[in-house]
């Protein structure tokens, strides 16, 4: 960054602080992470102006109900119960950011420039699209309120539906769809949840699909989608009045900041949850942000609800405080699948020691992963106590006795060494 750019930015900040009395925090993104950052700023005593820019026209809403109550028509929406006006938070919807001028501390939008002193990027994640299916009629994603609204009549009409992807969103949609019509699920991997918690050992998840009448096709890829069918690479034609794609998400890191000369939030240069490279006036939080984990010795990218809830508190503390606050949580997420409540805490690798607790063909069981003897992660199906105790043990870096940990009659905390 040049000396001239630095002086220009300092002058811009001084001018705005003089006009407004306080730093102006602008948050790009009105999802869970963006909204909670604004709320956390107020809860932690920040009195300056706070502006939230949301690209969607809808009131900010929670995403988990989209694949459940909203999709099934049991709820019309899932808007947050937050009085933005009472909190003194400026909420501007339908405002897509099209550019940034770091030297001027301004964002560009179709409605005009928006000045900021501190910028928080909470742009979320976007679904990975099925190659070659862009714009094809009958191909659906499930990420937004509008996506759920488009899928509701598809379920109601009981069309043949092909689900592409056997990850978390694929499983949740297949769970919802079973009330309308059992849907074949196509997955390129050799097992469901291949990129998630079940990386090793016996995998009972496949049987869950069969139990609800869904045909699970593994090692299968969709070559193309045509009217009324999804065609696999082996030539198989699956009847498809609709195709729902759930093959993962990627951080929504808009191209507009990368064109700025003084900072380039792409890849590892994208601001983390707790700080920004070379800048203390730009932060990122939620699904678009990774963070360096001292606990696991690597940078983590967590696309789950709890991360979008917890991260904003650290961002707010860093904006307000003089000393940087560290963000290194134990990742946690949950899912409702085929009548089962699935929870996962921590982070594991294929090299970690696997310890089963209970019969994985039963209704309740859990799995522990040990790294050098310490509990690194726990997956619990119908055993919430294992999850709650395991999360605390992970936070404390507790070592477990594998024999005791493998006995489901022994409370997990009692397996601590």
Q: What is the pLDDT of residues 347-374, one digit of tens each?
A: 999 899 999 999 988 889 999 999 999 9
pLDDT of residue 173: 85
Long-range contacts made by residues 396-403, C-beta under 8 angstroms, separation at least 24? 397/295, 398/374, 399/373, 399/374, 399/375, 400/355, 400/368, 400/370, 400/373, 400/374, 400/375, 402/353, 402/355, 402/370
Architecture of domain 3-126+250-320: 3-Layer(bba) Sandwich (3.50)
pLDDT band per the 50, 70, 90 thresholds, residue 201: very low
CATH 3.50.50.60 fits 129-247, yes or no: yes
Q: Which residue has the higher pLDDT, 278 or 406?
A: 406
Q: Which residue has the tokens 């099925």?
A: 130
Q: What is the pLDDT of residues 80-109, one digit of tens each?
A: 999 999 999 999 999 998 887 878 899 988
Give dist(CA 139, CA 124) in Å, integer.
Answer: 22
Token pair in block for residue 415: 């397996």
pLDDT of residue 324: 77
Mean pLDDT calculated for residue range 150-154: 89
pLDDT of residue 279: 61
Percent of residues, the chain, with pLDDT higher than 90: 49
Does the structure show a pLDDT above 90 at 213?
no
Does the structure show a pLDDT above 60 at 262?
no
pLDDT of residue 193: 63
pLDDT band per the 50, 70, 90 thresholds, residue 158: confident
Does the structure show a pLDDT above 80 at 191?
no
pLDDT of residue 272: 57
Does the structure show a pLDDT above 70 at 120?
yes
Mean pLDDT calculated for residue range 16-26: 65
Q: Are 227 and 138 in contact (CB under 8 A)?
A: yes
Q: What is the pLDDT of residues 282-320, one digit of tens each?
A: 898 999 888 889 999 999 989 889 999 999 999 999 999
Q: Which residue has the tokens 């990122």?
A: 284
Residues of the chain with CATH 3.30.390.30: 339-415
Mean pLDDT calculated for residue range 396-406: 97
Mean pLDDT calculated for residue range 40-57: 96
Mean pLDDT calculated for residue range 164-193: 76
pLDDT averaged over the chain? 84
pLDDT of residue 13: 44
Range of weakest confidence among 137-151, 202-216, 240-254, 330-344: 202-216
Residues of the chain with CATH 3.50.50.60: 3-126+250-320, 129-247
Does the structure show a pLDDT above 70 at 200?
no
40 three-state secondary structure: helix
pLDDT of residue 248: 87
Give dist(CA 273, CA 284) in Å, integer.
Answer: 5
CATH of the structural domain 339-415, one choice from 3.30.1490.20, 3.30.390.30, 3.40.50.300, 3.40.50.720 = 3.30.390.30
Does the structure show a pLDDT above 70 at 257?
no
Give dist(CA 231, CA 313) in Å, integer.
Answer: 46
Q: What is the pLDDT of residues 330-348, one digit of tens each?
A: 999 998 888 889 999 999 9
pLDDT of residue 258: 42
Q: Are 123 and 29 in contact (CB under 8 A)?
A: yes
Does the structure show a pLDDT above 60 at 20?
no
**Which strand (E) or helix (H) includes residue 342?**
strand 340-346
Does the structure show a pLDDT above 80 at 210?
no
Q: Which of 317, 191, 188, 198 is nearest to 246 (CA)?
A: 188
């Amino acid at each position: 960054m040049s000396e001239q750019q630095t002086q220009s930015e300092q002058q811009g900040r001084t001018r705005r602080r003089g006009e407004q009395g306080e730093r102006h925090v602008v948050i790009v993104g009105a999802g869970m992470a963006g909204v909670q950052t604004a709320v956390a700023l107020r809860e932690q005593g920040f009195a300056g102006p706070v502006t939230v820019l949301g690209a969607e026209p809808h009131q900010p809403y929670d995403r988990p109900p989209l694949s459940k109550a909203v999709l099934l028509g049991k709820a019309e929406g899932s808007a947050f119960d937050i009085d933005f006006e009472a909190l003194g938070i400026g909420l501007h919807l339908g405002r897509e950011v099209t550019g940034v001028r770091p030297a001027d501390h301004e964002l560009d939008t179709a409605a005009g420039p928006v000045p900021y002193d501190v910028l928080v990027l909470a742009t979320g994640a976007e679904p990975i699209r099925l190659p070659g299916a862009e714009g094809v009629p009958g191909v659906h994603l499930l990420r937004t309120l509008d996506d759920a609204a488009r899928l509701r009549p598809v379920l109601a009409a009981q069309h043949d539906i092909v689900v592409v992807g056997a990850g978390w969103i694929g499983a949740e949609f297949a769970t919802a769809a079973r009330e309308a019509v059992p849907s074949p699920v196509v997955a390129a991997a050799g097992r469901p949840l291949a990129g998630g918690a079940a990386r090793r050992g016996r995998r009972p998840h496949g049987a869950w699909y069969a139990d609800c009448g869904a045909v699970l096709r593994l090692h299968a890829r969709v070559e193309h989608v045509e009217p009324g069918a999804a065609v696999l690479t082996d030539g198989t034609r699956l009847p498809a009045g609709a195709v729902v794609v759930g093959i993962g998400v990627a951080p929504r890191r808009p191209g507009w900041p990368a064109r700025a000369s003084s900072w380039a939030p792409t890849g590892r240069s994208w601001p983390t949850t707790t700080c920004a490279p070379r800048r203390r006036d730009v932060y990122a939080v939620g699904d678009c942000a990774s963070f360096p984990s001292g606990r696991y010795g690597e940078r983590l990218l967590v696309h789950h609800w709890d991360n979008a809830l917890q991260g904003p508190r650290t961002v707010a503390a860093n904006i307000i405080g003089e000393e940087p606050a560290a963000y290194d949580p134990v990742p946690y997420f949950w899912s409702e699948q085929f009548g089962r409540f699935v929870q996962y805490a921590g982070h594991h690798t294929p090299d970690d020691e696997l310890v089963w607790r209970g019969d994985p063909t039963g209704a309740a069981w859990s799995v522990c992963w040990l790294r050098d003897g310490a509990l690194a992660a726990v997956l619990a199906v119908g055993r919430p106590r294992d999850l709650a105790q395991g999360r605390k043990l992970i936070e404390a870096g507790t070592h477990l006795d594998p024999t005791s940990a493998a006995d489901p009659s022994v409370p997990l905390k009692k397996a601590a060494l």
